[in-house]
Chains A and B, each alone.
Chain A
Amino acid sequence: MITERQEEQAALHALGLLEGAERSAFEHELAGDAELRALVASLGETSAALALTAPQIVPPAALKDRLLAAAPPRAAAALVEFPLARYAPWAVAACATFAALWFGFQTFRLRAENQSIRTERDLAEIAYKMTQGQLKERSLLTENMINRLGNQLKRQEDLSRMKVTALASLLGNSKEAQAIAVWDPDLQSGLLTVDKLPALADNQDYQLWVVDPAYQNPVNGGVFKVGADGHTALVFKTDQPIGKIAAFAVSLEKKGGVPKAEGPLVLLGK
């Protein structure tokens, strides 16, 4: 619906009477109103028709000559005769250049990607080696710890398995004499350490006996002598296998020992 105001503005616009802000505002309104545009176009035609009311005058003939002289033919016709063959090599060259640029760009891009992937791989490898080293280090520590614990357990087991017995003196002249006997049932061997036992004559020996309830008589553990300080350490084995030890005993025997204890007992320990 066109208002009277719009009709007035359209008429003024058609006669070129709208200026400045008034013209801008109307043309803005015109842009969004097809009906108004149609009215303006129609009034524009009417306004242009007023030109015919002017007294008709024939322009001088020279005006046409002047116009045609000043308006040389335009180059539009040249577009029709497009010499394809002439420009084909250039088109091919342009395509080749474009292709080369494209491939160059792709190569550059792929190289950059490849370098990036290599860097990532190197970093991953370094991280892997570091982790591997840490694991190895931890593994060694664990192994050492296990070994240490194992050794401790073994020592404790050995100690629990071993039979350790302190032997006391039974002689009146050597009250201070002391001896400790340690027996390993697995190895069927033992260690006897003696202190402050009186030294013996050359025709005498001390003889160690191991009392096992499984045997009627004590089992021979070997003979020994002590030095001037009354000390010695003897690694001994028994003549017969020992199952359970009831006591250790040391007797004074003739040199070389006897199969069955005969002399007085010097030390005894259960």
Chain B
Amino acid sequence: MYFVSAPLFRPLAFAIPRSPRRPARMTPAAATSERDEQARVHAALLRAMTSGDKSALGRLYDLLAKPLYSLAYRVLHDHPEAQDVVHEVFLQMRDKAGLYETNRGTVFSWAATLTRNRAIDRVRMRKRRAEIIAESAPEIREETPAATGADTLAWQEKSGAVRAALTQLAPDQQAAIELAFFGGLTQQEIAARLNAPLGTVKARIRRGLLKLRETLPAQP
């Protein structure tokens, strides 16, 4: 028997500012302003890439590589493969930068979607889905975030806010969403994994994602 709920809550511990090294929280207004500014910087770097700015790719990498790499590793549990995914995603962003439209979402959202899709594709291609699933959800190893010059307070604030919002979901909603997002399972596989009817799983995902959207601070 496989239990999902308890291990899934482990990443949410990041939301709790217990470490003295963690920066002090900003006010909500300041955090929103910082996120907006961050989104504008990302979009500007993307535009700079289309006009041939040689340094734009490196600067965008500095800002996004860490969360994207973390996401890729979270799905793949394999450092070389996570590196390959991040490498491919940045090249794809450079090649498709001209097609990006700000009204379709933030650059981070686009990059995260590309990373997740590529990582899940790799998981499926390796044909070790069952093995990866068994490792992914329950066995998340908590790693201490390494502060770098590229880390910003806004990233940390947002990361903490998302974790905090996730903890407010019902455990079954949280489990379904995490299995879908990080595990790359199909609806039926999630239902089988959670031993719940398919309709129930769909409803949990709908309610969970909508609540998460309401709980999270305004999206940039």
Q: CA of A77 to CA of B52 in the docked complex: distance in angstroms?
A: 5
Q: At the interface, yes or no: A11 with Cβ under 8 Å from chain B?
A: yes
Q: Could you say which of A17, A41, A54, A77 contacts B74, with CB atoms under 8 Å apart?
A: A54
Total CB contacts across the A-B interface at under 8 A: 179
Pairwise interchain contact B213-A46, C-beta atoms closer than 8 A: yes
A-contact 0/1 string along B181-220, CB 8 Å cutoff: 1101011001000000000001101101110110010010
CB–CB B187/A51 < 8 A: no
**Is the Cβ of A47 less than 8 Å from the Cβ of B209?**
yes
Decide if B67 touches A12 in the complex (CB within 8 Å): no
State whether the Cβ of A31 lies closer than 8 Å to any Cβ in chain B: no
Nearest CB on A from B87, distance (A): 5
How many interface residues does B have (CB within 8 Å)? Answer: 74
Interface string of A28-61 (1 = CB under 8 A from B): 0000000000000111111111111111111110
Chain B's closest residue to A63 (CB) is B83
CA distance A48 to B106 in the complex (A): 10
**Which B residues are within 8 Å of any A CB, using their own CB?**
11-12, 14, 49-52, 54, 57-58, 61-62, 65-71, 73-74, 79, 82-83, 86-87, 90-91, 94, 104-106, 108-110, 112-113, 115-117, 120, 140-143, 145-146, 148, 155, 158-159, 162-163, 166, 177-178, 180-182, 184, 186-187, 190, 202-203, 205-206, 208-210, 212-213, 216, 219
Task: Decide if the interface of chain A is mainly helix, strand, loop or mixed.
Answer: helix
- Residues of A that sit less than 8 Å from B by CB: 4, 7-8, 11-12, 14-17, 19, 41-60, 63-64, 66-68, 70-71, 73-80
Distance in angstroms from B205 CB to nearest chain A CB is 5
Residues of the A chain whose Cβ atoms lie less than 8 Å from the Cβ of B162: 49-50, 52-53
CB atoms of B94 and A71 under 8 A apart: yes
Q: When the two chains form their complex, are residues B146 and A46 in contact, meaning their CB atoms are under 8 A apart?
A: no
A11-B205, A11-B209, A59-B65 in contact; A45/B106 too (CB < 8 A)? yes
Per the bound structure, the CA–CA distance linking A80 and B53 in Å amounts to: 12
A-B contact pairs, 7 of them (CB 8 A): A8-B205, A43-B213, A48-B109, A51-B115, A52-B67, A75-B52, A77-B51
Residues in chain B near residue A14, CB distance under 8 A: 209
- A55 and B70 within 8 A (CB): yes
Beyond A17-B180, A45-B109, whether A55 also contacts B210 by CB under 8 A is: no
A4 CB contacts on chain B under 8 angstroms: 206
